[in-house]
């Protein structure tokens, strides 16, 4: 009875956070323009309510009783894990003063407007003061959250628990060591042809094909739907309603296709969480106050990148599925073969904009941001020196001269919304995807499925080893159970090396 009452209370927290997610999805897909201002207030109220409902005296009293009731169970039982995670989250929120949360939200809401104007005008200095304030507020947050080595570690905790500046330093060095030579070698070679991807591909057929490929890798439309937005995303309102969006560019066919596969990968993580975890903290990020079943942003990204890149950009996938692409787009693809298509969608092209980056250069955009954020937080980099530091790194990694701050330091929305500490998960996700895919494809059924366009065994392997666990285990516990070791970049580097060596004849 004690535990059941506590569980129902936590179900309500999950309900509130799912309601917030639904309002957010609606705002990005369906809401008429006039609704923006009052929608922001509705979202803010649900945020405050969720936090207050979680830390309320009543929740804590129910938690006390629940803990007493389940104290005889093993420490790693679902019930005790839920109690422990809830207590940790309540402690986390109580450490952060309500006033600081409010000031950060206010700065974020002012910041977005200032940033949008600064970016339009290519005027970094008009954004600098609010960025200074954001850095200062996040530094204050870090002190309240607590850390042992670096204040940036505290900020990453909400997105990638356990990751630290120190651990990332090692990881990034290994990645650079493996990837920079590859990038340098590619720069010397002629790239594959890709002109045909820029032919006009009708919107409706692009969406139909994107959705078909999403369903092929396992996305369940009975518990999902696809819409279009400027920036694709996935969001879940319990495992029973997991929605994805994509974008359509008429003369750039990969945008819709790989956007759909990427978000479908995210969606699988949510759709195949253990149904018993629905409305529990194992499907709720109580620290970040977000209803999600994935254990970290990096773990989530591992599933999107795995289905986008390891599956969707593989030679084997197009050997088996290209005929269907041709049937959907006869006017655009009848003179192209599977091999040419596969090479084209793997073309490497260093550029300034992170969200447009290819599989190989993407991580360099991430490394530069993480290093810069950590330096801003520990004070070793001043906001005023940010553009120079940014541009130097782009030159060092990608060999490009940043022509203006719109193509440089002003490109991302993240800082303007008050968030610092969010970037590392993209690279963590790539590394995890490599590691999980290597082990999964050693399974005979998975390998056989991959060779016959049957992606059910792969999805089932991921469900068994990743999806179903929700937030029960930490990211590294999950990796150890699934692959026998913690985060290891070797398979990812091997994957990149093998693929690009072949395509570029290195």
**204: contact with a copy of itself by CB under 8 A:** no
- Shortest distance, position 99 Cβ to a copy of itself, whole Å: 16
- Shortest distance, position 105 Cβ to a copy of itself, whole Å: 15
Q: Residues 65, 80, 176, 223: which binds a copy of itself (CB under 8 A)?
A: 223
* 74 φ, ψ (degrees, to nearest 5): -60, 150
Looking at the Cβ atoms of 17 and 420, the one nearer to a copy of itself is 17
Contacts of 30 (CB under 8 A, 6+ apart): none
Contacts of 144 (CB under 8 A, 6+ apart): 95, 96, 97, 100
CB 365 within 8 A of CB 355: no
Q: Residues 157, 279, 310, 472: which binds a copy of itself (CB under 8 A)?
A: 279
Tell me the site size for a copy of itself, rule CB under 8 A: 41
The dihedral over CA atoms of 193, 199, 205, 209, expressed in degrees to the nearest 10, equals: 10
Q: Residues 112, 126, 228, 240: which binds a copy of itself (CB under 8 A)?
A: 240
414 annotated among ligand-binding-site residues? no
**237: contact with a copy of itself by CB under 8 A:** yes
Q: Residues 3, 6, 10, 16: which binds a copy of itself (CB under 8 A)?
A: 16
The dihedral over CA atoms of 273, 274, 277, 281, expressed in degrees to the nearest 10, equals: -40
**47: contact with a copy of itself by CB under 8 A:** no
For residue 464, the tally of other CB atoms under 10 A from its CB is 14
**4: contact with a copy of itself by CB under 8 A:** no
**46: contact with a copy of itself by CB under 8 A:** yes
For residue 302, the tally of other CB atoms under 10 A from its CB is 32
**278: contact with a copy of itself by CB under 8 A:** yes
- Marked catalytic residue, from 133, 160, 263, 359: 263
Looking at the Cβ atoms of 65 and 223, the one nearer to a copy of itself is 223
Q: Whose CA is closest to 429, among 239, 294, 312? A: 294
Contacts of 82 (CB under 8 A, 6+ apart): 7, 10, 280, 281, 282
Q: What whole-number distance in Å separates Cα of residue 284 and Cα of residue 317?
A: 34
Q: Residues 98, 173, 187, 221: which binds a copy of itself (CB under 8 A)?
A: 221
Looking at the Cβ atoms of 33 and 330, the one nearer to a copy of itself is 33
Q: What whole-number distance in Å separates Cα of residue 60 and Cα of residue 57?
A: 5
Contact positions toward a copy of itself, by CB under 8 A?
A: 11-12, 15-16, 18-20, 22-23, 26, 30-39, 41-42, 44-46, 48-49, 53, 220-225, 237-238, 240-241, 243, 278-279
Which residues form the catalytic set? 263
């Amino acid at each position: 009875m004690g535990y059941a009452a506590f569980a129902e209370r936590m179900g309500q927290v999950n309900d509130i956070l799912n309601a917030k997610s639904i309002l957010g999805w609606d705002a990005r897909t369906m809401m008429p323009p006039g609704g923006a201002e009052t929608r922001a207030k509705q979202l803010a109220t649900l945020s405050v309510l969720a936090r207050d409902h979680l830390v309320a005296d009543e929740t804590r009293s129910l938690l006390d009783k629940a803990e007493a009731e389940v104290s005889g169970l093993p420490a790693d039982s679902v019930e005790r894990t839920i109690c422990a995670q809830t207590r940790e989250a309540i402690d986390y929120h109580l450490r952060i003063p309500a006033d600081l949360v409010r000031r950060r939200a206010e700065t974020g809401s002012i910041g977005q407007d200032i940033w949008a104007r600064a970016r339009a005008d290519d005027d970094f200095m008009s954004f600098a003061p609010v960025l200074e304030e954001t850095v200062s507020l996040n530094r204050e947050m870090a002190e309240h959250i607590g850390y042992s080595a670096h204040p940036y570690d505290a900020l990453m905790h909400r997105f990638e628990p356990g990751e630290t500046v120190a651990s990332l330093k090692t990881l990034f060095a290994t990645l650079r060591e493996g990837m920079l030579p590859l990038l340098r070698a590619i720069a010397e070679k002629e790239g594959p042809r890709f002109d045909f991807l820029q032919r006009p591909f009708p919107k409706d057929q692009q969406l139909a094909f994107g959705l078909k490929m999403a369903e092929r890798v396992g996305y369940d439309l009975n518990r999902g739907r696809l819409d279009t937005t400027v920036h694709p995303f996935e969001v879940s309102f319990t495992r029973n309603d997991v929605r994805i969006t994509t974008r359509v560019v008429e003369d750039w066919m990969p945008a819709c296709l790989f956007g759909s596969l990427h978000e479908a990968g995210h969606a699988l993580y949510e759709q195949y969480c253990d149904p018993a975890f629905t409305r529990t903290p194992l499907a709720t990020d109580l620290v970040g106050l977000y209803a999600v079943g994935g254990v970290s942003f990096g773990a989530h990204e591992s599933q999107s990148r795995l289905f986008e890149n390891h599956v969707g950009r593989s030679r084997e996938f197009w050997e088996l599925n290209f005929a269907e692409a041709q049937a959907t787009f006869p006017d655009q693809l009848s003179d192209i073969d599977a091999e040419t298509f596969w090479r084209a969608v793997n073309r490497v092209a260093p550029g300034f904009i992170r969200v447009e980056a290819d599989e190989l250069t993407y991580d360099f955009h991430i490394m530069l941001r993480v290093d810069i954020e950590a330096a801003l937080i520990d004070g070793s980099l001043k906001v005023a020196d940010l553009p120079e530091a940014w541009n130097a790194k782009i030159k060092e990694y990608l060999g490009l001269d940043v022509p203006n701050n719109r193509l440089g330091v002003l490109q991302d929305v993240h800082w303007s919304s008050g968030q610092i500490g969010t970037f590392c998960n993209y690279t963590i996700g790539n590394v995890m995807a490599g590691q999980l895919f290597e082990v999964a494809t050693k399974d005979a059924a998975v390998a056989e499925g991959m060779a016959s366009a049957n992606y059910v065994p792969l999805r089932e392997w991921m469900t068994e080893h990743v999806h179903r666990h929700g937030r029960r285990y930490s990211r590294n516990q999950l990796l150890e159970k699934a692959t026998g070791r913690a985060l290891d970049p070797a398979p990812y580097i091997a994957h990149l090396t093998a693929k690009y060596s072949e395509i570029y004849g290195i």
